Amino acid sequence: MEKEKVLNTGFKINQNIISLEKGKLPPQAVDLEEAVLGAMMIDKKGVDDAIDILKPDAFYKDAHKHIYEAIEMLFKASQPVDILTVSTQLRKNGKLELVGGDFYLINLTQKIASSAHIEFHSRIILQKYIQRSLIKISAEIIEDAYDESSDIFELLDQAESKLYDVTQGNIKKSTETAESLVAQAKKRIEEIGKREGLSGLPTGFHKLDGLTSGWQPSDLIIIAARPGMGKTAFVLSMARNIAIDANKGVAFFSLEMSSVQLITRLISSETGLSSEKLRTGKLEQHEWEQLNVKVKDLEKAPLFIDDTPSLSIFDLRAKARRLKSQYDIQLIVIDYLQLMTAGGNNKGGGNREQEISTISRNLKGLAKELDIPVIALSQLSRAVETRGSSKRPLLSDLRESGAIEQDADIVSFIYRPEYYKIDVWDDEEQSPTEGQAEFIVAKHRNGGLDNIRLKFLGKYGKFDNLDDFSTPFDEFQSAMNDRNVTNDLPPGEQIFGSSFSNDSEVPF
């Protein structure tokens, strides 16, 4: 009985605490709301300073929301903002009597002498709004947490998503008008013109950038290939170009290889030292010096690698939001799609095709939410291997789900005929395939299709442009061939000498 009384007492105490919490007045600054609205109606500068900070929902008092909506409508229509125009707009909206009529508008303007400090006042109003939003979200999280039927991982994901939205200053994105979207599009086109036609992230592969104008924000890009084609090598080369040359943040989620293995590959491609030498650590003194000098740019690159195995889509979204918030990443790479799990209520007994569909749909949602391109590597089915002479992959070869093709904005393949002992390309020139690969754009929602040939350096785990390919490795070898000398130069002149004696290739 005593134990039951304690429990009952505790329950009553909790009830009292909850009732006290509900009795608190929400954070607000009504006096500042009045000052800001009054200043906007007497001074055009006040409108310019506050309009980018506030939105109607930021006002605590309903009457103030309606007044601000009227001011915002006048501003978007390039109309003057004053007592008369705001009164007329409120009358058109059917809200004039609701806010207290002209008398209330006059009172607002009489409470303020100028628009001085309006930006500071606006930010306090926004701060109160964020506080109210946090209270609302917290209450929803508490209520959902008491529900025994709710999935804990979905609850965590929803909670983090809502909190991320608050940090972006936009709880729920409203539907935008064609007028505002046209203005945004025109501004974007102007910016693109200044960047020599590239509207997205430059990959460093010129023909690919020419086809896509760079990877576009909110796009889901699938890069698929059979094992051994060089999927990881390609995205690493691309990530290197974006992080080092363009200085844009890249998040690389590797579910197959460790982060140290990946960075070793990058070191190999950056320094010109073969992967076998780096694995064994058998480097000459000049090669150690070469390594130390060449990795300096890589050390400073905004490249973030996460090698969490069996990563769920919920964990990925949470990690990606944090990286976007903290480091403003501009690209996400996932290696690779089939190793991810849907998480949530899926306990492994469901249909794998449905799980892949869920993952691809969520990846597209993540790309739109963060407004950055998301690249996911994918495996192809063995149907490629059973074909006749040409082993070039098709869209039907995507493994486990047609939803991947449906959700993706771009579906591409990597094809290396050399891997299948095919010595020449199947074209009119019959050019040799050695050291070459084809990047096949098989689906492009917003552009054309093409097969783009690239240079493939297996020893260094690297892809590069084919037409204008010129690196210190080739220059050094060419110089030695021209002078008809052997590779017995002094250490100071042996730039990449020892790496040419190694013909081993990196397994992919």
Does the annotation mark 256 as catalytic?
Answer: yes
Q: Pull the structure tokens for residue 163.
A: 């909190």
Collapsing DSSP states into helix, strand and coil, what is residue 193?
helix
Eight-state DSSP code of residue 504: -
Angstrom distance (rounded) from CA 38 to CA 219: 43
Angstrom distance (rounded) from CA 205 to CA 238: 8
Q: Quick one: the chain helix, strand, coil %, rounded to 5? A: 55, 10, 35
Three-class HEC string of 393-457: CCHHHECCCCHHHHHCCEEEEEECHHHHCCCECCCCCCCECCCEEEEEEEEECCCCCEEEEEEEE
Residues 410, 360: contact at Cβ < 8 Å? no
Collapsing DSSP states into helix, strand and coil, what is residue 465?
strand
Angstrom distance (rounded) from CA 491 to CA 486: 13
| Active-site annotation holder among 119, 160, 256, 276 | 256
Instruction: Supply angle C-alpha 280, 286, 289, rounded to 5.
Output: 85
The partner residues of 414 in beta bridges, in order of sequence, read: 439
Residues 51, 122: contact at Cβ < 8 Å? no
Catalytic sites, residue numbers:
256
